[in-house]
Amino acid sequence: MEDQCLLKPRSADGQLRVLQITDTHLFADENGDLLGVKTAQSFNAVLEEFQKQNIDFDFVLMTGDISQDYSVESYQRFANMIKCLNKPVFFLPGNHDDGPLMYRIFNRLGVSTARNIICGNWQFILLNSEVYGVAHGWVQRDQLEYAERCVEEHPNLHSVVCIHHLPLLVGSDWLDTQTLHNQDEFHVFMQRFPAVKLVLSGHVHQEVDVIRQNIRYIATPSTSIQFVPKSRDFALDSKGPGWRYFSFSKDGSIDTVVCRLNTDRFRPRMDVGGY
Ligand SMILES: [Fe+2]
């Protein structure tokens, strides 16, 4: 199928290891500031920490909001920065991104535009939930049908569906207005496919890990600012930039851990009322 990328697991035990990063919110300006956090600096500090930890993994999954200003330069910045990991990089667009622009330029910048990654006993299906110019998400029928085709083409693979907008409410009134607005349609659709083990998202800038009707839903802290969980009004968390490692086993089980930078260097301004 077009858009497909076949990768061989690096580990001899068939275990597949993936690094998820999300919501870098980069600017054209390298000193671009999101609510007091210079996002290129926080992302750079995260990349330095990966390299220090020296954990091997198969590829990077970037789950959207690479940019904060929709600029070509912000995407060039991302591609230049992520190069240091020397691993395949895959992405999907978020609500702060310009999806059509990303699909046009990323291949030649070294970031893959594949939407279906097959590696060992697993496949990853990258969907677009972006609604241009607004914060909430909507997954179009053609995206769901693309997921269906991928699952049906490889009935023996375990599947991970990746989508920027977490298709769940998180108990934050302000953030729950920016959710995937057709999440019921999404759930009903995914329930038809027992091969779908995980739905993986960004967008909520906090850690989420729940199981709903046999599918695990996971979201991951941003490499920039964090939102306070279960807050009625917009509120920023003082926790450090984060990311997530995954280990996918041949038998369909999933291990994951969230890591954060242990520093006060990237504390946001706490007096702001929105973003
Ligand atoms: Fe975001």
| Gap from CA of 121 to ligand 1 centroid (Å) | 30
Q: Is 90 exposed, middle or buried (0-12, 13-18, 19+ CB in 10 A)?
A: buried
Beta strands in 140-253 (DSSP E): 158-163, 196-201, 208-212, 215-219, 226-227, 236-237, 242-248
Distance 14 CA to ligand 1 centre (A): 33
Q: Look up the pTM and report it.
A: 0.96
Parallel/antiparallel/unpaired status of strands 226-227 and 59-62? unpaired
CA 205–ligand 1 middle distance (angstroms): 6
Can you tell me the distance from the alpha carbon of 273 to that of 18, in angstroms, rounded to the nearest whole number? 35
Q: How far apart are the first and last CA of the chain?
A: 39
In angstroms, the CA 112 to CA 103 distance is 9
What is the reported pLDDT for 274?
78
Over its length of 275 residues, how does the chain's per-residue pLDDT go in tens digits? 569 999 999 998 889 999 999 999 999 999 999 999 999 999 999 999 999 999 999 999 999 999 999 999 999 999 999 999 999 999 999 999 999 999 999 999 999 999 999 999 999 999 999 998 899 999 999 999 999 999 999 999 999 999 999 999 999 999 999 999 999 999 999 999 999 999 999 999 999 999 999 999 999 999 999 999 999 999 999 999 999 999 999 999 999 999 999 999 999 998 887 77
Q: What's the CATH fold of domain 4-260?
A: Purple Acid Phosphatase; chain A, domain 2 (3.60.21)
In three-state secondary structure terms, 47 is: helix
Q: What is the pLDDT of residue 65?
A: 97
**Which residues, by Cβ under 5 Å, contact ligand 1, an ion?**
23, 65
Q: Contact at 8 Å (CB) between 137 and 117? A: no
Using the mean position of ligand 1's atoms as its centre, give its distance from the Cα of residue 105 in Å. Answer: 21
| Residue 103 alpha carbon to ligand 1 centre in Å | 19
Q: Starting at the edge strand that comes first in sequence, how are the strands of the sheet with 215-219 ordered?
A: 4-7, 116-119, 122-127, 158-163, 196-201, 215-219, 208-212
Domain limits, the chain? 4-260
Cα-flanking dihedrals φ and ψ of residue 208, to 5°?
A: -135, 140
Q: pLDDT at position 132, please? A: 84
